[in-house]
Amino acid sequence: MNILITGSNGSLGQELTKALLKQNTVYTTSRHKALPHEKNHIKIDLLEDNAVSKIKEYINNKPIDILINNAAHFCKRKYSEVSEKDMDQSFKVNFKVPFMLIQQLTENLKLSENPQIINIGSLSGQQGVTKYKGLSIYGATKGALTILSETLAEELIKNNIKINCFNLPSFDSKMFTKAFPEENPLLKTKEISEKIISFIHSNTSISGKIITIEKNKLKIL
């Protein structure tokens, strides 16, 4: 399969990339130069104008079987201190870029026999769940991504493109341990990565669903 993963230098991005590379061609994007295992890497800051067009240019007309929107701009700040720049950057990376990647890569996804989009959301963006302080904007962007996954499914299904959103609990990534050094994350990055990969390999027919992980099991909402 051909797989595109954004945010490949992060904790979950690296874990997913290394595991998926064994049997697939994995295209990766990050702000850093390619890590040794990254053979098809696009060095890009997703805040840049035209970032999505540059990714499309690199992929060109190759089929994409799986698109994983994993990169996220993390803003932890008291609401009284949140700036317009924080809002713009958070919504750009966490919502606009996933949306535009889906738009620009639809033709590539249509070339696959079983195309899937996996959006990486968060419990911070899910209704009815206890929240951490300081994540108003981050949570709002993930909430937007959650609803996008549900609404877009209605349009993408005509091309057999499945789209689902993993609203993840806390795990021991760079992002979490830096933001909440006092807290114990619920899961390990490797456990999260394994769950996502087993879902990808299940060749699911479900689409437009929110998926969480509870008691180490996938829960489909």
Ligand X SMILES: NC(=O)c1ccc[n+]([C@@H]2O[C@H](COP(=O)([O-])OP(=O)(O)OC[C@H]3O[C@@H](n4cnc5c(N)ncnc54)[C@H](OP(=O)(O)O)[C@@H]3O)[C@@H](O)[C@H]2O)c1
CB of 90 to ligand X, least distance (A): 9
Q: Does 10 bind ligand X (CB under 6 A)?
A: yes
- How many Cβ atoms from other residues are within 10 Å of residue 131's Cβ? 13
| Residues 118 and 71 sit within 8 Å (Cβ to Cβ) | no
| Residues 93 and 47 sit within 8 Å (Cβ to Cβ) | yes
CB of 38 to ligand X, least distance (A): 12
Q: Does 30 bind ligand X (CB under 6 A)?
A: yes
Q: Which residue is nearest to ligand X (CB)?
A: 10
Q: Which is nearer to ligand X, 70 or 207 (CB)?
A: 70
| Residues 102 and 152 sit within 8 Å (Cβ to Cβ) | yes
Q: Does 11 bind ligand X (CB under 6 A)?
A: yes
Q: Does 126 bind ligand X (CB under 6 A)?
A: no
In the region spanning residues 168 to 197, those forming contacts with ligand X, defined by CB under 6 A, are 168, 170-171, 173-176, 185
Report which DSSP code applies to 22: T
49 contacts: CB under 8 Å, gap ≥ 6: none
One residue of 46, 59, 75, 148 binding ligand X per CB under 6 A: 46
Within 13 Å of residue 4, how many CA atoms lie on the same side as its CB?
A: 27
For 3, the token pair is 């797989």
Q: Does 70 bind ligand X (CB under 6 A)?
A: yes
Contact mark string toward ligand X, 50..69, x via CB under 6 A:
--------------------
Q: Does 20 bind ligand X (CB under 6 A)?
A: no
One residue of 2, 122, 146, 212 binding ligand X per CB under 6 A: 122
Rounded Cα distance between 38 and 14, Å, is 9
Rounded Cα distance between 109 and 115, Å, is 6
CB of 100 to ligand X, least distance (A): 13
199 contacts: CB under 8 Å, gap ≥ 6: 118, 164, 166, 211, 218
One residue of 3, 27, 65, 73 binding ligand X per CB under 6 A: 73
Residues forming contacts to ligand X in the complex (CB under 6 A) are 7, 9-13, 30-32, 45-47, 70-73, 93, 120, 122, 168, 170-171, 173-176, 185
